[in-house]
């Protein structure tokens, strides 16, 4: 049951973060107008966050963080492709349109945003691991490889009972 609540919590974090990022981005691009999003975008964010959370569990802590970000970008781009085509041909909601972007495929995915997703995925991986370690009290202490460098989270302060 603990795994269910953890997954639900992480899904909610990804769901709300994706919607917030999209609304802020669309607001900024509309020069003063309000941005909007769709619940399916939040679902994509929640699913992406759950997948990012599993990278270090299923792959390895030794996998370069930039490579993890690239894998994360592939996850988001694949979800955007799947949901975008489903929207384009069946739902007709028009959740997003990349048709004006360079290197786009049917207006549902594009290279510039796939590259942006690398950075977003790296941040999401770090946030998911921070939640697991500091809030959900999971071990081990997260550490990341970036080239020849290794970065570690700050160790938790342990409170011992006498």
Span 47-105, pLDDT tens digits: 999 999 998 788 878 899 999 999 999 999 999 999 999 999 999 998 888 999 999 99
160 confidence band (pLDDT: 50, 70, 90): low
State which residues form the domain around 27. Answer: 2-152
In the predicted model, what is the mean pLDDT of the chain?
Answer: 90
- pTM exceeds 0.75, yes or no: yes
- Which one has a higher pLDDT value, 36 or 53? 53
Query: What is the pLDDT averaged over residues 27-47?
Result: 83
Is the pLDDT reported for residue 11 higher than 70?
Answer: yes
Whether the bond into 140 is cis, omega within 30 of 0: yes
Is the pLDDT reported for residue 161 higher than 70?
Answer: no
Per-residue pLDDT at 23 = 87
Query: For residue 119, what are the CA distances in angstroms to 55, 82, 107, 113, 145?
Result: 15, 21, 22, 10, 15
How much of the chain is helix, strand and coil, in % rounded to 5?
Answer: 60, 5, 30
CA angle 24–87–90, rounded 5-degree value: 160
Q: Does residue 19 belong to any structural domain of this protein?
A: yes
Q: Does residue 160 belong to any structural domain of this protein?
A: no
Residue carrying the six token digits 């950075």: 119
Q: Does residue 158 belong to any structural domain of this protein?
A: no
Q: Does residue 161 belong to any structural domain of this protein?
A: no
CB atoms within 10 A of CB 133: 18
Is the pLDDT reported for residue 162 higher than 60?
Answer: no
Q: Does residue 78 belong to any structural domain of this protein?
A: yes
What is the spatial distance between Cα 117 and Cα 99, in angstroms, rounded to a whole number?
18
Per-residue pLDDT at 50 = 96
C-alpha 157: how far from chain center:
28
Query: What is the pLDDT averaged over residues 10-35?
Result: 85
Q: Does residue 159 belong to any structural domain of this protein?
A: no
The 8-class DSSP code of residue 134 comes to: I
User: 81 near 109, Cβ under 8 Å?
Assistant: yes
Per-residue pLDDT at 27 = 82
Q: Does residue 137 belong to any structural domain of this protein?
A: yes
Q: Does residue 99 belong to any structural domain of this protein?
A: yes
Closest CA to 107 of 116, 98, 118: 98
60, with CB counted inside 10 A (0-12, 13-18, 19+), is exposed
Tally of domains within the chain: 1
Is the pLDDT reported for residue 159 higher than 70?
Answer: no
4 confidence band (pLDDT: 50, 70, 90): very high
């Amino acid at each position: 049951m603990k795994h269910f609540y953890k997954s639900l919590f992480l899904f909610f974090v990804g769901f709300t973060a994706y919607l917030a990022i999209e609304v802020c981005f669309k607001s900024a691009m509309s020069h003063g107008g309000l941005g909007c999003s769709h619940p399916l975008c939040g679902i994509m964010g929640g699913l992406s966050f759950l997948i990012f959370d599993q990278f270090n569990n299923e792959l390895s802590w030794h996998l370069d963080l930039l490579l993890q970000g690239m894998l994360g970008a592939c996850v988001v781009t694949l979800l955007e492709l799947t949901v975008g085509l489903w929207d384009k041909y069946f739902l007709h909601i028009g959740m997003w349109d990349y048709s004006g972007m360079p290197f786009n495929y049917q207006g549902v995915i594009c290279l510039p945003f796939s590259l942006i997703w690398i950075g977003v995925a790296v941040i999401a991986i770090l946030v998911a691991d921070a939640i697991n370690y500091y809030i959900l009290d999971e071990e081990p202490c997260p550490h990341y490889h970036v080239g020849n460098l290794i970065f570690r989270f700050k160790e938790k302060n342990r409170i011992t009972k006498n």
